[in-house]
Amino acid sequence: MGTQAKPGIRLRAVLISLGILLANILVNGLIFLFFRDSTLNPLLTAVLAVLWGVLGVYLIYYSLTFAAEQYPDKIRGRILPFIFVGPAVLLLGWLLVLPALRTLYLSFFNASSDKFTGLANYAAIFSDRLLGTALRNNLLWVFVGTLACVAFGLLIAILADRSSYERIAKSIIFMPMAISFVAAGVIWKFVYYYQPGDEQIGLLNAIVTYFGGEPQAWTSMIQPWNNFFLILILIWMQTGFAMVIFSAAIKGVPDDILEAARVDGSGEIRIFFRIIIPFISTTILTVTTTIIVFTLKIFDVVMVMTGGQYDTEVVATQFYRQFFMYRNFGYGSTLAIVLLIAVLPVIIVNLRQFRKQGGF
């Protein structure tokens, strides 16, 4: 009887699973259609949508887990990981993979996406003067921005670790991470603000004129140095991120090794370069690659501060201009693919580093 019962139990579990899956699709599909066609007050709609998001996710996982529990232990153990990871993978595939494939497809067509042009768009980007400027500026962001963030983050982490005001100092340095790049751009736009005449409301020009200097249009007239003034915003924001990661890694350096080095007569500078740096080298690589990805994708700060004018164009702003303003879908998609190709090697290095550290 036991051997005959197993197929029946499995069939019942399969039917329950299919029923729960179809019920989830039907219910959530109807709720989606309701919100899409709703004429309710926008605020009420937003509140209901948030509730649906929270409760909907909970009910989906609860119902799918209930369905998995209907199977024998061996099968259930294989199904549960897919239940917890599967929805996230499907969502990422829908929001990231499919748009990337569609962008790749559009990059082989003309501006209106009705004529196949092959690699013509890829050939055109290497002869575009504006793209040359954008690539040069992206390299500036990558090298200057990343190097400064890592160097300052490491220096502050070392100094704060030896200070009695460690928590206060770290909180102040990390505070810019709490705001978005757009908000940071707005703040620094007032810092760099310039207007003709003696009265200056921009903080930097107010300081310059107070000491007898001439006010400057820092983000427009002073080229190509205006790019460095924009990169300073990235440094202001991302140094706190680097500092926190480095501080945690430095605290993981064994005290007995440091004490042994000091007993042997090694100075603090030698300890820093010979012991601390090699010990946290994997963390330095991880932080560096993470910030490189930020700098390659930089868009918000440039768009808010200059709109890509005055030779501050980067690849992301050029893509936005071509795709959304000029409606040149083929060329804009090609720029997006070029940016993706530039980011991929850095992401691969980061993933390999996580794997070495046992992240996954």
Residue-wise pLDDT tens digits, 3-29: 444 666 677 888 888 898 899 889 988
Q: Are 51 and 139 part of one and the same domain?
A: no
Q: Are 151 and 193 part of one and the same domain?
A: yes
317-333: buried (b, 16+ CB within 10 Å) or exposed (e) per residue? bbbbbbbeeeebbbbbb
pLDDT of residue 149: 94
Tokens of 294: 């930020």
In a domain, 243, yes or no: yes
User: In one letter, which amino acid is 316?
Assistant: A
- CB-side exposure of 243: number of CA atoms within 13 Å? 27
Domain final position from 107, 136, 162: 107
Strands (E), 174-292: none
For the stretch 317-359, pLDDT in tens is: 888 888 888 888 988 899 888 888 888 888 888 777 777 765 5
Domain final position from 107, 139, 161: 107
In a domain, 2, yes or no: no
**What is the domain-level CATH number for residue 250?**
1.10.3720.10
In a domain, 346, yes or no: yes
In a domain, 298, yes or no: yes
Q: Are 16 and 143 part of one and the same domain?
A: no
pTM of the model: 0.77
pLDDT of residue 237: 92
In a domain, 114, yes or no: no
Q: Are 99 and 23 part of one and the same domain?
A: yes
- Are 87 and 60 within 8 A, CB to CB? yes
Helix (H, G, I), strand (E, B) or coil at 195: coil
Radius of gyration of the chain (CA): 27
Tokens of 121: 């768009």
CA 95 to chain centre: 15
pLDDT of residue 326: 85
What are the phi and psi torsion angles at 116 (to 5°)? Answer: -75, 130
Q: Are 258 and 349 part of one and the same domain?
A: yes
In a domain, 113, yes or no: no
Angle formed at CA 277 by CA 141 and CA 234, multiple of 5 degrees: 20
Whether the bond between 42 and the residue before it is cis, its omega within 30 degrees of 0, is: no
User: How many whole angstroms separate alpha carbon 140 and alpha carbon 145?
Assistant: 7
Low-confidence ranges of the chain (pLDDT < 50): 1-5
Q: Are 31 and 130 part of one and the same domain?
A: no
Q: Are 90 and 129 part of one and the same domain?
A: no
260-285: buried (b, 16+ CB within 10 Å) or exposed (e) per residue? ebeeeeeeeeebeeebbeebbeebbb
Q: Are 93 and 158 part of one and the same domain?
A: no
* 257: CB partners within 8 A, 6+ apart: 275
Q: Are 87 and 172 part of one and the same domain?
A: no
Q: How many domains would you assign to the chain?
A: 2
pLDDT of residue 1: 41
For the stretch 155-164, pLDDT in tens is: 999 988 877 7
pLDDT of residue 108: 92
User: How many whole angstroms separate alpha carbon 330 and alpha carbon 117?
Assistant: 9
Q: Are 48 and 177 part of one and the same domain?
A: no
- Are 223 and 306 within 8 A, CB to CB? no
Tokens of 146: 């990343």
pLDDT of residue 358: 59
Q: Are 44 and 158 part of one and the same domain?
A: no
User: How many whole angstroms separate alpha carbon 223 and alpha carbon 226?
Assistant: 5
Q: Are 231 and 148 part of one and the same domain?
A: yes
User: How many whole angstroms separate alpha carbon 16 and alpha carbon 66?
Assistant: 9
User: How many whole angstroms separate alpha carbon 320 and alpha carbon 304?
Assistant: 13
Domain that holds residue 83: 11-107
Domain final position from 72, 107, 142: 107
Residue where the block lists tokens 């948030």: 50
pLDDT of residue 6: 62
For the stretch 63-79, pLDDT in tens is: 888 888 888 888 888 88
In a domain, 3, yes or no: no
